[in-house]
Amino acid sequence: MRLLDKVGIITGGSSGLGKATAIKFASEGAKVVVTDLDEAGGRKTVEQIQAAGGEAAFIQTDVSSFDQVQRSVHFAVEQFGSLDVMFNNAGMNIAKPLLDFEPEEFDKVLQVNQYGVYYGILAAGEEIAKLGRKGVIINTASVFSYVATKGVIAYQASKAAVKLMTQAAALELADNGIRVVAIAPGGIDTPFIQFRKDLGQEEKMAKMHMRGKLLQAEQIANIVAFLASEESDVINGSTVMVDDGLAAFRG
């Protein structure tokens, strides 16, 4: 078990990649704190982990609030005595053409995707450093941190920011023994892309990947677990492409 007795926080853990990663962490021996706005979904994730013999707890959290993110970090330490891994995964999207995008909508996306990651880096970084642990902070960026597409300007801006915040935070926290890395997924078959399916774009999106299929959350969760483990000790400040080649050839 690569994560035996480590304590990890998973934001956005009620569904999709967050849920898959919480389950994967627990299967690798980690004690998991699931956070999400969706209380019912988050508690279901915890119940699933506990039913399989794992240890998990839930705390409702709005990642756009630093106070709530910091509270979730303190909750993890209170519940399990430590903190080793922070997976800043919660995110949102508003899909609209640029000229229809309202400034308030732009701000809303950045508050969750960009500020939410910053808050997670800050709160977890402070706590892990205080505990004297050699922790790992993992952030969910995107292939759209690198390549442009239509209709998601706020999402792209926020994910590009996550990529560079990962590099900057890794540099800042290296002296504390804390690694900071990110993942850049392609299209994952989760509720997050339901709007694409509603528009009849599922097949088109699948074909953007080299092997012509949408990615599965469990496939990405495997990579997150690896990055959280000591096996990835020399990966720091990097954004790892987990996109089945989408950004390499653009579909």
Rg (CA), the chain: 17
Q: How far apart are CA 15 and CA 37, in angstroms?
A: 11
CA dist list (Å): 195 to 89, 93, 95, 198, 201: 19, 10, 9, 5, 9
- Of the residues 115, 118, 119, 155, only one is catalytic, namely 155
Active-site residue 155, yes or no? yes
Q: Which of 47, 37, 38, 152 is nearest to 22 (CA)?
A: 47
Q: Which of 201, 243, 234 is nearest to 226 (CA)?
A: 234
Question: What is the CA 156 to chain-centroid distance, rounded?
Answer: 15
**Kind plus residue range of the DSSP H or E element containing 228:** helix 217-228
Sign, Cα dihedral of 89, 167, 111, 188:
negative
Burial environment of residue 117 by CB neighbours within 10 A (0 to 12, 13 to 18, 19 or more): buried
Structure tokens at 181: 């890395």
Residues labelled catalytic? 155
